[in-house]
């Protein structure tokens, strides 16, 4: 207990005077009114080294509300108690009705008073002068940041990364910018990323920044700035609910909701910056979780036209190419509004200026040189070295000069490294202080006083004394946190790290256990919010009960992460749970299997399907088999097949790995279950791909019926898109249209984003194959919007493929080629090295066929795609354009002439595949194949192919012409012209009119004028589209005719 008999501090004297004027509070009532502890007030009144920190506005509020204090008087008290005036946010909080310009003017006046007071100060020097923060140099870097802010004020928002080693001055630099921002009527908010073992929530840095903004802003203004996204922001910033009474939006679809959250946060920050320019500082991004980085990228992509400046800081020495931040930086560099400030060590002259500022007078040149040589100009190192030299008495101040006291040379007295000097400074603290600080280091860089009290194991008075000792030497600083409780923060992460690493392992384990228990007791009603932190602490224990808690809290935190769409954090927590489970009970195979299945599902979505195929799926299956659990085994197989789909798309179908997983899925699936529907669907797909469509199509049909009966939307959509792609005999056109329309109109509730994305792709391709371009583009645009919102890697690649597909329709052929080239490059950047080339082939082959360029490369790529399996129809098509006549003829004999039941209702071969074969047959003059395929495809409702898009009727006309049936050919060509005009399919229209001209010239001499008209049209189009082979073919006819 603090004794009242002690001499009152300046704060204590002023407080007693104010309480006397108020005439309505005693000390305890005043503490309650402020929302702080009585003990805290007592310390401020009687302890000279104790100064008010982040709670200062809470201490002034009662007197402001009673109109005892005005704005000027509040600044005067702040100068006397804290050595600085109130900040703009503090002024806003205390005097919300005052105009901002008046608040800024009052701050400038208070700053002027402080500066005049500082100038007049002479001997004696303030006892704690060596612990003041000092800033020197960095003029160019500061000017760059100021320029970025000035640009933001003009509506040109940007993001700047401040980069450098620990202690180089990243925080000091943005703090200087913040002072500049205040003078320009701007506002700065700050969020921190915390190292492992500290408080860990998804998006925490951005939550902190928004939290401070919400607390210091008018509720009506916040409501307006949040706009329609208020319910989404409320999911992660609880103060929105508490201050505005807005309930969080109920979850619907994880990835869709994730987009809404990102969009809402971006809109909130942009709207807030409209009122007054806003700087958002995100500290220590090298500690950021993947989800925070993804939200940051989304915000950065939408900075154009905003008054928002984002400053990020990180240690480049801790970011290698495998670090999550490395990938995020690669994305950010693609944004025009991105910049980077790299901080180096200070020069000798700047070190000299820094020493003079610390020492409050000139210092010998030799001291500056010695310090610079040892510290390489690292500002934190410089400051810590000077503090150490003075604290240790190696240099002393006599008669206004600094002198070396001993015989040891100055260079020999300076510690070798930053950690060394921090260690030496810590060793000068009392044993009791070091013990308390070591305990605090286990809690984290920021530690609540209430938790420290519970785990320190010493009386409160000793805790207070230790904190005061550390605070006086700038080892820690006081912070305010939620609910006006007191917390402290190590002034630099290296101080906390040094203390933590010096704790013996058994003691460290014990402290983690105690911290976990204290967190449970203090936050009993809000365990979910601190679940990740609790999991971290209990995971260090060797006690089974604690390890069980660690797993439970990891799963709780993973569910919370999933609820706010922080999939990267969900992965980290599930991986942690697996590690702890291995220690707790490596024989609990069911639990480990469940954790692996959960982890594999998330890893697939976040872009690591290959890892799932190599690790999670095989181990989960093995564990399920060991315990004889068919349901878990089925889930493991389905996980693997989904991962294969993400990894290789269509390339998986010829893969032995896929065959093995499908066979296992079939083995473990029980009758009349979702697992059975999935297994039958996969079996059907594999049989169709193996050239046995009569066996495969009924399996997919059965799977679709079962999925519809079980009424599980996600499974129904998944199997439906497989049916659209693989069950495509010529007479299925009507059923395809009906199902595609059903999928477009069905509610999306219960359908995962990955399944919806695949469904939209195949629905779009189905509408395209039926000649319905507008409906196809509706589906494609919904998919592209999905890609834009979710930034899913696979969807982004699809989106680019769609752009190439539509460019091909429009005749922008070289643009389509360039898009597919960029698509492959983008796929490499996103880690989709197998998936992207497949999509590039599906959407980029036809434009190359039209141009007559780069086709051979696609032949090799397609052979690789088949993994050495049987050649398929697409390879046959490519080879026919390369004039590989003998090989193509052999394939046609096998795939068409020798096909059992061709043309009958039992022939379930896909129409798209047969159209490729028909095109190949015409190109090499294989009459028998052309005849069989013409008979099968004539009258079908399929107007184009789903992939390698081309017009069906054009090839039917060419086949009829090859077979000497000109009138039939002419009818097909007329139909093709109608389809191409309706679809605005420019290259196919030009080719059809060329082929019709050729037909007319050969069989209808009296139609020569019409033929010339078709030729002229085609030649003009071929020139504009740069379709050189077709242009040369058309020109030859003109030469022959002499026209």
**Predicted local distance difference test score (pLDDT) of residue 413:** 55
Closest CA to 710 of 735, 747, 673: 673
Domain assignment of residue 379, yes or no: yes
In the predicted structure, residue 951 carries a pLDDT above the cut 80: yes
What is the number of structural domains in the chain? 4
Using DSSP's 3-state secondary structure scheme, residue 947 falls into coil
pLDDT tens-digit profile of 61-73?
A: 888 887 788 888 8
Domain assignment of residue 53, yes or no: yes
Closest CA to 783 of 768, 762, 767: 762
To which residue do tokens 């609990």 refer? Answer: 588
The whole-number average pLDDT for the span 719-736 is: 93
223, 260: one domain = yes
140 or 959: which leads in pLDDT: 959
Res. 871 pLDDT band, cuts 50 70 90:
low
Give whichever of 199-203, 443-447, 528-532, 724-728 has the largest mean pLDDT.
724-728
Domain assignment of residue 380, yes or no: yes
pLDDT tens-digit profile of 366-415?
A: 777 777 777 778 887 777 777 777 766 666 666 656 555 654 455 555 56
Tokens of 859: 């032949």
148, 82: one domain = no
Tokens of 353: 């200026």
Where in the sequence is the domain holding 32, given as residue range(s)?
10-120
Length of the chain: 1043
To which residue do tokens 């095109």 refer? Answer: 919
**Predicted local distance difference test score (pLDDT) of residue 803:** 96
Asked if residues 839 and 823 have their Cβ atoms less than 8 Å apart, the reply is: yes
In the predicted structure, residue 482 carries a pLDDT above the cut 50: no
Res. 359 pLDDT band, cuts 50 70 90:
low
pLDDT tens-digit profile of 740-766?
A: 999 999 998 888 888 899 999 999 999
Tokens of 116: 């005049």
367, 328: one domain = no
**Domain holding 272: CATH number?**
3.40.50.300
419, 436: one domain = no
Which residue, 85, 120, 155, sits at the end of a domain?
A: 120
Mean per-residue pLDDT over the chain, rounded: 84
Which range has the worst mean pLDDT, 492-496, 554-558, 873-877, 883-887?
A: 492-496
The whole-number average pLDDT for the span 672-683 is: 92
In the predicted structure, residue 855 carries a pLDDT above the cut 60: yes
333 or 927: which leads in pLDDT: 927
**Predicted local distance difference test score (pLDDT) of residue 64:** 83
Asked if residues 158 and 340 have their Cβ atoms less than 8 Å apart, the reply is: no
In the predicted structure, residue 586 carries a pLDDT above the cut 50: yes
Domain assignment of residue 489, yes or no: yes
In the predicted structure, residue 861 carries a pLDDT above the cut 60: no
In the predicted structure, residue 364 carries a pLDDT above the cut 90: no
Domain assignment of residue 420, yes or no: yes
Separation CA 880–CA 891 (nearest Å): 11
Res. 198 pLDDT band, cuts 50 70 90:
low
**Domain holding 434: CATH number?**
1.10.10.10
Q: Give the count of beta carbons closer than 10 Å to the beta carbon of residue 366.
A: 12
The DSSP secondary-structure symbol of 951 reads B
309, 433: one domain = no
**Predicted local distance difference test score (pLDDT) of residue 69:** 83
298, 159: one domain = yes
**Predicted local distance difference test score (pLDDT) of residue 308:** 93
Asked if residues 485 and 449 have their Cβ atoms less than 8 Å apart, the reply is: yes
Separation CA 708–CA 716 (nearest Å): 6
pLDDT tens-digit profile of 691-718?
A: 788 888 999 999 999 999 999 999 999 9
The whole-number average pLDDT for the span 582-599 is: 92
**Predicted local distance difference test score (pLDDT) of residue 122:** 36
Separation CA 861–CA 853 (nearest Å): 15
pLDDT tens-digit profile of 910-943?
A: 999 999 999 999 999 999 999 999 999 998 999 9
**Predicted local distance difference test score (pLDDT) of residue 857:** 57
420, 435: one domain = no
155 or 113: which leads in pLDDT: 155
Which residue, 496, 522, 550, sits at the end of a domain?
A: 496
**Predicted local distance difference test score (pLDDT) of residue 395:** 67
Domain assignment of residue 291, yes or no: yes
In the predicted structure, residue 595 carries a pLDDT above the cut 60: yes
456, 409: one domain = no
**Predicted local distance difference test score (pLDDT) of residue 212:** 80
Res. 133 pLDDT band, cuts 50 70 90:
low
Res. 648 pLDDT band, cuts 50 70 90:
low
Separation CA 464–CA 476 (nearest Å): 13
Question: Which residues, in sequence order, are bridge partners of residue 162?
Answer: 313, 341
Closest CA to 54 of 461, 473, 488: 488
- Convert 973-1001 into a string of H (helix), E (strand) and C (coil): HHHHHHHHHHHCCHHHHHHHHHHHHHHHH
34, 111: one domain = yes
Specify the pairing of strand 395-398 against strand 338-342. unpaired
146, 277: one domain = yes
Which range has the worst mean pLDDT, 44-48, 69-73, 799-803, 862-866?
A: 862-866
494's torsion region: left (phi>0), alpha (psi -120 to 50) or beta? alpha
Which residue, 496, 521, 538, sits at the end of a domain?
A: 496
pLDDT tens-digit profile of 9-27?
A: 888 888 888 887 777 778 8
182 or 620: which leads in pLDDT: 620
Asked if residues 278 and 269 have their Cβ atoms less than 8 Å apart, the reply is: yes
The DSSP secondary-structure symbol of 896 reads I
Domain assignment of residue 894, yes or no: no
Closest CA to 443 of 504, 479, 505, 490: 490
Res. 903 pLDDT band, cuts 50 70 90:
confident
**Predicted local distance difference test score (pLDDT) of residue 345:** 83
**CA distances from residue 1021 to 852, 1001, 1014 in whole angstroms, order as listed:** 16, 20, 11
**Predicted local distance difference test score (pLDDT) of residue 32:** 80
418, 435: one domain = no
Tokens of 136: 């020197």
CA angle 1033, 1039, 1043 (to 5 degrees): 115
| Rounded percentage of the chain residues whose pLDDT exceeds 90 | 35
In the predicted structure, residue 238 carries a pLDDT above the cut 80: no
357, 326: one domain = no
What's this model's pTM, rounded to 2 decimal places? 0.65
Asked if residues 73 and 197 have their Cβ atoms less than 8 Å apart, the reply is: no
In the predicted structure, residue 119 carries a pLDDT above the cut 60: no
pLDDT tens-digit profile of 507-546?
A: 888 899 899 999 888 877 678 878 888 888 888 888 899 9
**Predicted local distance difference test score (pLDDT) of residue 626:** 94
The crossing angle, in degrees rounded to 10, of helices 290-301 and 324-332 is 0
In the predicted structure, residue 1043 carries a pLDDT above the cut 60: no
Domain assignment of residue 969, yes or no: no
The whole-number average pLDDT for the span 87-116 is: 72
């Amino acid at each position: 207990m603090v004794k009242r008999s002690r001499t009152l501090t300046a704060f204590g004297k002023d407080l007693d005077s104010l309480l006397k004027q108020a005439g309505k509070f005693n000390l305890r009532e005043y503490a309650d009114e402020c929302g702080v502890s009585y003990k805290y007030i007592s310390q401020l009144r009687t302890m000279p080294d104790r100064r008010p920190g982040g709670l200062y506005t809470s201490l002034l509020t009662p007197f402001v509300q009673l109109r005892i204090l005005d704005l000027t008087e509040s600044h005067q008290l702040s100068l006397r108690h804290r050595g600085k005036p109130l900040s703009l946010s503090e002024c806003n909080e205390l005097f919300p009705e005052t105009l901002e310009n008046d608040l800024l003017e009052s701050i400038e006046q208070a700053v002027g008073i402080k500066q005049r007071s500082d100038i007049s100060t002479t001997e004696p020097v303030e006892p704690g002068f060596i612990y003041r923060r000092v800033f020197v140099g960095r003029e160019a870097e500061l000017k760059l940041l100021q320029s970025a802010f000035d640009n933001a004020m003009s509506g040109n928002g940007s993001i700047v990364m401040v980069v450098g080693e620990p202690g180089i001055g990243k925080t000091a630099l943005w703090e200087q910018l913040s002072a500049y921002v205040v003078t320009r009527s701007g506002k700065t908010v700050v969020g921190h990323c915390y190292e492992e073992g500290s408080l860990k929530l998804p998006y925490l840095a951005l939550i902190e920044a928004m939290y401070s903004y919400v607390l210091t802003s008018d509720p009506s203004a916040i409501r307006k700035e949040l706009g329609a996204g208020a319910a989404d922001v409320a999911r992660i910033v609880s103060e929105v609910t508490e201050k505005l009474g807005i309930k969080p939006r109920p979850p619907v679809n994880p990835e869709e909701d994730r987009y809404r959250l990102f969009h809402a946060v971006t809109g909130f920050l942009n709207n807030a910056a409209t009122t007054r320019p806003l700087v958002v500082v995100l500290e220590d991004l090298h500690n950021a979780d993947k989800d925070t980085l993804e939200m940051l990228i989304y915000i950065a992509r939408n900075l154009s036209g905003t008054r928002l400046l984002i400053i990020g800081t990180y240690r480049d020495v801790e970011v290698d190419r495998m670090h999550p931040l490395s990938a995020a930086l690669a994305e950010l560099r693609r944004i025009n509004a991105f910049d980077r400030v790299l901080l180096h060590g200070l020069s000798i002259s700047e070190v000299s200026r820094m020493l003079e500022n610390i020492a409050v007078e000139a210092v010998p040149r030799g001291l500056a040189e010695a310090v610079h040589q040892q510290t390489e100009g690292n500002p934190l190192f410089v400051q810590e070295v000077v503090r150490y030299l003075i604290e240790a008495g190696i240099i002393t101040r006599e008669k206004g000069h600094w002198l070396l006291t001993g015989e040891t040379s100055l260079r020999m007295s300076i510690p070798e490294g930053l950690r060394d000097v921090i260690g030496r400074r810590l060793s000068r603290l009392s044993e009791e202080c070091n013990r308390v600080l070591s305990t605090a280091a286990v809690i984290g860089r920021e530690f609540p006083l209430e938790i420290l009290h519970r785990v320190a194991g010493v009386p409160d008075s000793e805790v207070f004394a230790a904190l005061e000792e550390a605070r006086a030497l700038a080892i820690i600083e006081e912070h305010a946190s939620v609910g006006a409780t007191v917390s402290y923060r190590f002034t630099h992460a290296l101080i906390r790290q040094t203390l933590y690493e010096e704790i013996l392992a058994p003691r460290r384990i014990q402290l983690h256990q105690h911290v976990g228990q204290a967190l449970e007791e203090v936050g009993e009603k809000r365990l979910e919010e601190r679940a990740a932190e609790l999991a971290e602490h209990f995971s260090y224990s060797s006690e089974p009960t604690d390890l069980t808690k660690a797993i439970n809290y990891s799963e709780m935190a993973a569910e919370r992460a999933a609820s706010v769409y922080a999939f990267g954090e969900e992965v980290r927590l599930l991986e942690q749970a697996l590690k702890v489970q291995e220690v707790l009970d490596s024989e609990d195979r069911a639990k480990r299997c469940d954790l692996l299945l959960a982890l594999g599902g998330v890893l697939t979505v976040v872009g690591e399907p290959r890892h799932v195929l190599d690790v999670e799926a095989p181990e989960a299956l093995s564990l399920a088999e060991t315990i004889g659990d068919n349901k878990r085994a089925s889930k493991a197989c389905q996980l693997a097949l989904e991962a294969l789909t993400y990894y290789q798309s269509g390339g998986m179908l010829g893969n032995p790995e896929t065959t093995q997983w499908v066979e296992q899925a079939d083995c473990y699936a029980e009758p009349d279950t979702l697992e059975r529907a999935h297994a039958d669907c996969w079996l059907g797909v594999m049989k169709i791909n193996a050239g046995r469509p009569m066996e495969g199509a009924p399996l997919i049909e059965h799977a679709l019926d079962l999925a519809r009966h079980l009424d599980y939307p996600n499974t129904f959509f998944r199997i439906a898109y497989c049916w659209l792609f693989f069950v495509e005999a010529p007479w299925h056109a009507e059923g395809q249209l009906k199902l595609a329309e059903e999928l477009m109109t069905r509610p999306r509730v219960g359908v995962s984003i990955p399944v919806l994305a695949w469904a939209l792709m195949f629905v779009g391709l189905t509408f395209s194959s039926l000649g319905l371009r507008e409906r196809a583009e509706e589906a494609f645009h919904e998919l592209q919007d999905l890609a834009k919102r979710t930034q899913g890697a696979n969807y982004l690649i699809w989106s680019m493929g769609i752009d190439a597909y539509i460019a091909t329709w429009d005749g922008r052929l070289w643009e389509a080629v360039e898009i597919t080239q960029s698509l492959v490059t983008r796929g490499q950047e996103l880690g989709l090295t197998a998936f992207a080339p497949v999509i590039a082939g599906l959407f980029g082959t036809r434009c190359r066929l039209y141009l007559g360029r780069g086709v051979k490369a696609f032949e090799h790529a397609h052979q690789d795609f088949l993994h050495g399996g049987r050649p398929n129809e697409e390879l046959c098509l490519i080879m026919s354009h390369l004039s590989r006549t003998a090989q193509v003829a052999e394939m046609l004999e096998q795939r068409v002439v020798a096909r059992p039941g061709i043309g009958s209702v039992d022939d379930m071969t896909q129409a798209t595949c047969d159209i490729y074969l028909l095109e190949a047959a015409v190109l090499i003059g294989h009459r028998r194949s052309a005849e069989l395929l013409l008979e099968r495809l004539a009258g079908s409702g399929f107007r184009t192919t789903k992939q390698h898009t081309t017009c069906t009727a054009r090839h039917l006309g060419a086949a009829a012409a090859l077979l000497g049936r000109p009138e039939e050919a002419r009818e097909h060509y007329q139909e093709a012209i109608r389809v191409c005009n309706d679809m605005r399919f420019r290259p196919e229209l030009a080719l059809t009119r060329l082929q019709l001209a050729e037909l007319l010239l050969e069989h209808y001499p009296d139609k020569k004028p019409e033929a010339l008209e078709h030729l002229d049209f085609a030649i003009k189009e071929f020139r504009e589209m740069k379709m050189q082979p077709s242009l040369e073919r058309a020109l030859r006819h003109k030469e022959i005719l002499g026209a």
